Amino acid sequence: MKKRILTGDRPTGPLHLGHFVGSLRSRVELQKSHEQFVMIADVQALTDHHDRPEVVRQNVFEVACDYLAVGIDPTESTIFIQSLIPEIAELTIYYLNLVTMNRLKHNPTVKQEIKQKGFGDNVSAGFMMYPISQAADITCVQAQVIPVGADQKPMIEQTNEIVRKFNQTYKTDVLVECEGYYSKFTRLPGIDGSAKMSKTLNNAIFLGDPADVLAKKVKRMYTDPNHLRVEDPGQVEGNPVFTYLDAFDPDTEKVQELKDHYSRGGLGDSVVKKYLLEVLEAMLGPIRERRAQYASDPAEVMRILQQGSERASERVQQTLDAVRSAMQINYF
């Protein structure tokens, strides 16, 4: 029997290369060997955009186009919209009784995001409950494998804590624990050299960027600030251009040659950036073309999401029935 996967993204905007190395590439690789559910987490996106729901609505479509363009096959994977599965919200309510507020406040991922977003004391209750909502997302389809970035390990741990607490409290084995599936490159730096690629930091390369926009972004990428002359030795470690080549160029020997040449001097940044642009364009060109085709037919994209949501709903209902039975609230 195939293991089940649950993966997905908050639709806060079109997806970028950071998402691709973090989990998108894994989803394409794993969909034939696993039973895969891919969730567009619009409810969780509302924790950031509750006052601008139209932004979330548009981004649901954008993310769906990205999924389809990179090769997530709706006949192999079940792509669904979170808000169309109300059973997830019900599971979240049940799990709230199994987690203390103190535990939520000390979740490292939540703490980091609160700091990044500058919420301070104005953080919403909905945002604080995010780990519990995510546990409901994972367990609703009884997922066993979760392709995520390394920064999401605390979320996996908290989900398994909830699973164990539920099974212990209700003397059952209804829920199953999950494990993370981590790609080699779980995080990609921004083109400005910052630790994380992000739309809000304006340092991202998006999957649908036109060729001219891609070229401009690569041209202005951060490199070694001390590499002032071509003949000077350059620093490879921490240089985003080489990090991107490691992540996306299958010709590892060529990349190593460039690294060695750059390190001893005699190789200019413009030459390396030109090569990186060729590598990225070879990968993103076909994705960009497929994305444009899907974006030109919104009705078809939404039909795919509707069918996927209906399939997901059937699976989630099975889980909810088992949970209600374990809790002895299956009254009829």
Tens-digit pLDDT profile for residues 131-163: 899 999 999 999 999 988 777 888 899 999 999
Amino acid sitting at position 32? K
Q: How confident is the model at residue 102 (pLDDT cuts 50, 70, 90)?
A: confident
What would the pLDDT profile of 205-229 be if each residue is shown by its tens digit? 999 999 999 999 999 999 999 998 9
Distances (CA, A) of 132 to 74, 98, 99: 27, 9, 8
Our CA dihedral for 135, 137, 142, 144, rounded to 10 degrees, sits at -70
CATH superfamily ID and name for 211-292: Tyrosyl-Transfer RNA Synthetase (1.10.240.10)
What pLDDT band is residue 186 in, cutting at 50, 70 and 90?
Answer: low
Residues with Cβ within 8 Å of 227's Cβ and at least 6 positions away in sequence, in order, are 233, 234, 235, 262, 269
pLDDT for 112 equals 76
CB contact at 8 A, 180 and 153: yes
Residue 79 and residue 297: Cα distance in Å, rounded?
A: 17
In the chain, which residues fall in CATH 1.10.240.10?
211-292
Averaged pLDDT, 273-288 = 98
Lowest mean pLDDT among 176-190, 253-267, 273-287, 312-326: 176-190
Q: How far, in Å, CA of 191 to CA of 221, rounded?
A: 5
pLDDT higher for 131 or 274? Answer: 274
DSSP state of 206: B
pLDDT surpasses 80 at 96: yes
pLDDT in tens, 45-89: 887 777 888 999 999 999 999 999 999 999 999 999 999 999 999
- The pair phi, psi for residue 4, each rounded to 5°, is -95, 140
Rounded Cα distance, 279 and 241, in Å: 11
- Residue 247 has which token pair? 């992540």
Query: Residues 10, 149: contact at Cβ < 8 Å?
Result: no
What is the average pLDDT score of the chain? Answer: 92
pLDDT in tens, 226-267: 998 999 999 999 999 999 999 999 999 999 999 999 999 999
Beta strands in 240-331 (DSSP E): none
User: Which of 19-23, 69-73, 105-109, 300-304 is least confident?
Assistant: 105-109
Pairwise CA distance, residues 269 & 262, whole Å? 9
Please tell me the class of the 4-188+297-326 domain: alpha beta
DSSP string of 236-251?
A: -TT-HHHHHHHHH-S-
Q: What number of other Cβ atoms are within 10 A of residue 302's Cβ?
A: 14
Which residues of the chain does CATH 3.40.50.620 include? Answer: 4-188+297-326
Distance CA(306)–CA(288), nearest Å, equals 24
Please give the pLDDT value at position 185: 67
Written as one string, the DSSP assignment of 292-305 is HHHHT-HHHHHHHH
Q: What is the DSSP letter of 90?
A: H
Closest CA to 280 of 182, 185, 212, 214: 214
